[in-house]
A and B are shown apart, each in its own frame.
Chain A
Amino acid sequence: MGEDAIRIRGASFRQGRAIALRGVSLSIETRERVVIVGRNGAGKSTLLKAMAGLLPPSMGEVEWPLHPKGPRVALIWQGIHLVQRLSVLENVLIGALGRCCSPLTWVRVFPEAERVRARSQLARVGIGHLADERAGRLSGGERQRVAIARALMQDADVLLADEPTSSLDWGAARDVARLLSELAASEGFTLVSVVHDLSLVEALGDRVVVLHEGRVAFDGAWEPSRRDSVVRMLAVGSEPSAAAA
């Protein structure tokens, strides 16, 4: 571990009339693997968007000490959002758009070096053979791997994953979670994920942050023995979806 990658100090967020987060303070170090859990409406997605710099706080501040001008983050979205009609390779190349500004990209012409990199990212997430398939034809697990390859393509220091496994069956969910974790270790990026399913916490990280009604209810190392107390903090009783595995 090392310096802080993301530092949040007393941040509050309003979304319309509702207050999504109230005075959250949180520091995440580089190469850390953090899992955020909480009930529906606890503010998990808001927190993730704030870390991505997509949502300025209404009070307090969010900082990226390594890149003061703006974060170098990549997002993996809830529900996997690929461009269905494009090929798998083209979807991965979309991750390179931030640095390829040529109008040639409008007609999907990318530098050869980027195409080579995109293919190697696909190979890294285990679907190199699907590069020329149409993205809409893949299974849920395969599509999530494409989304991960697209995120890797962005050369980010921090990967933010919002419910990366919510649309997958249990087996595929576990595989994707493990893949994310392995990549974080081998590529050396910081991984922050939001999950519903406590059984995936262990695969995705070693630090868990529990959000409850917009506040941090717990922040510490994850140990299986802690599971029960985390469950209690989530007050899962009234929220069956959080307990479903």
Chain B
Amino acid sequence: MRSVAIERARYRLYAALFALVLGVSLASLWYEGDLSFGRRPLVNLMRTAQELSRPSFVDAWSGDRALVYRSDDGTVLRTEDRRVVERQFLFGLGRAAWATIKIAVLGTALAAIAALPLAVVSARNLRAPAALATAARTAASVLRSIHALVFGLLFVGIVGLGPMAGILAVAAHSTGSLAKLYAEAIEALDEASIEAVRATGASRAQTFFLSVWPSVLPQLTSLNLYVLEFNIRDSAVLGLIGAGGLGLLISEATSLFQWGRLATILIALVLLVAVVDACSRRIRQDLL
């Protein structure tokens, strides 16, 4: 038992330490000359906002319909219908969004399968051999500490460009997160109700399948959905490094300075994330 005074003193010590870290970080930023927002931050901000404020699909339907290509002397080389072009782009956007969903769903499913044995071995209350438990916990921790984007770079090199690299990247990182979350859910179980089943003379496997598994299944499902929400966002970014999906279009639009298209893509991304989050929350409430 610690007295309240000692607890408060500790709290103050940690607060002071945190203040120190903040101060040193800021001082170092200033010392290295990085404490700057560039030459004309406000002008740049306004221009970016302006460029993003005209999403390409709005432009195509409200602005000039014809897109005219001219040579230097003014001769018309080619005329395109902007709406046709935009329609093709939106179709591509839809496909990319679907690819993002695919990467997230399959990646999460793969992670769920891989994380389960790791969690069962590392949950303290299931009393797996200590060496095995430590190995599983270390593996999960390593997987968790490497970002999906970094795994993406590795897997693009291994399996080539495309959604497969994205799926494996999402799966690898989420396996680490899910293993930890699963293990915590298993550790939070009512120990005595498991003990009660074991005491009837049930074998280890019977105890697991008739007591641990049914009690923990709703939580695991809920955790899967929760991680799926994160993975939708992660897999959208994974396209930036060539793993398919919305990120690929983002990287195209930014490298061609097509800010209107970038705005359209971002709207689609926000909508996608919002819909998945809302569905997932609804299902999770229903299950628990």
Contacts and interface: CB of A to CB of B under 8 A. Distances in A.
Contact of A154 (B190, B193, B201, B217): B201
Nearest to B209: A106
A85 B216 CA distance: 9
A103 interface: yes
B205 A106 contact: yes
A99 B214 CA distance: 21
Interface residues of A, number: 26
Contacts of B197: 83, 94, 97
Interface of B: 190, 192-193, 195-197, 199-203, 205-206, 209-211, 214-215, 217-218
Nearest to B197: A94
Contacts, number: 64
A150 B190 CA distance: 18
A97 B199 contact: no
Contacts of B200: 74, 94-95, 97-98, 150, 154
A54 B197 CA distance: 13
B201 A98 contact: yes
5 contacts: A83-B197, A83-B215, A84-B190, A106-B205, A154-B201
Interface of A: 52, 54, 74-75, 77, 79, 81-86, 90, 94-95, 97-99, 101, 103, 105-108, 150, 154
A81 B193 contact: yes
B202 A97 contact: yes
A181 B258 CA distance: 82
Query: Chain A: interface secondary structure?
Result: loop
A90 B215 contact: no
A81 B196 CA distance: 7
B202 A98 contact: yes
The 7 closest A-B pairs by CB, nearest first: A98-B201, A81-B193, A97-B202, A106-B209, A81-B196, A85-B214, A81-B192
B81 to A, nearest CB: 59
A122 B206 CA distance: 22
Given A81-B192, A94-B210, 5 more contacts: A82-B196, A84-B215, A86-B210, A97-B197, A97-B203
B199 A54 contact: yes
B209 A107 contact: yes
A108 B210 CA distance: 7
Nearest to A84: B215
Given A84-B215, A85-B218, A101-B203, A77 B192 contact: yes
B205 A81 contact: no
